[in-house]
Amino acid sequence: MEIMNETDLEALIAKEKESSVGNDARYMLGKNLIEGSFPDKIKRNELKGLNWIKEAENRGHLPALEYKTYYDIRFEKHPSVEKIIEGLKKCAKENNSARACATLAEFSHA
């Protein structure tokens, strides 16, 4: 399977605007822009990637919500603990995320 480039993913997003496929593409494009995982296909651009993640999150994409929550934990200068805990609870409950459950337990223990 070949990795899609940025242009291909943006075309897929435009074609599948309201579908889960479009949200998956937004998430994957955002994640790859932030991380720079495939620099020959998608050049690293953290700000643009974060915008794609936020758009997928706003459309109800749970993996994007979880990604953004952990991004905020690690990189946000002034993180909102309430927003982080809310995101973790939603991921734990609706997406059965073991990682979110473990992080919630760490917050409770602290």
Helix (H) or strand (E) holding 27: helix 20-35
Rg (CA), the chain: 15
Last residue of a domain, one of 24, 40, 59: 59
Which amino acid makes up residue 47? L
Using CA atoms, how far apart are residues 1 and 14, in angstroms rounded to an integer? 22
Checking if the pLDDT of 1 tops 70, the result is: no
Using CA atoms, how far apart are residues 87 and 79, in angstroms rounded to an integer? 12
What's the pTM value of the predicted model, to 2 decimals? 0.91
- Supply 82's token pair: 């309430």
Checking if the pLDDT of 52 tops 70, the result is: yes
Pair (5, 54) in one structural domain: yes
Checking if the pLDDT of 57 tops 80, the result is: yes
Pair (52, 67) in one structural domain: no
pLDDT of residue 3: 80
Pair (5, 42) in one structural domain: yes
For 80-99, the pLDDT digits (tens) are 999 999 999 999 999 999 99
Structural domains counted in the chain: 2
Give me the torsion for CA of 91, 94, 99, 102, rounded to 10°: 90
Where in the sequence is the domain holding 21, given as residue range(s)? 1-59
Pair (5, 45) in one structural domain: yes
Mean pLDDT of the residues in the chain = 94
Pair (48, 65) in one structural domain: no
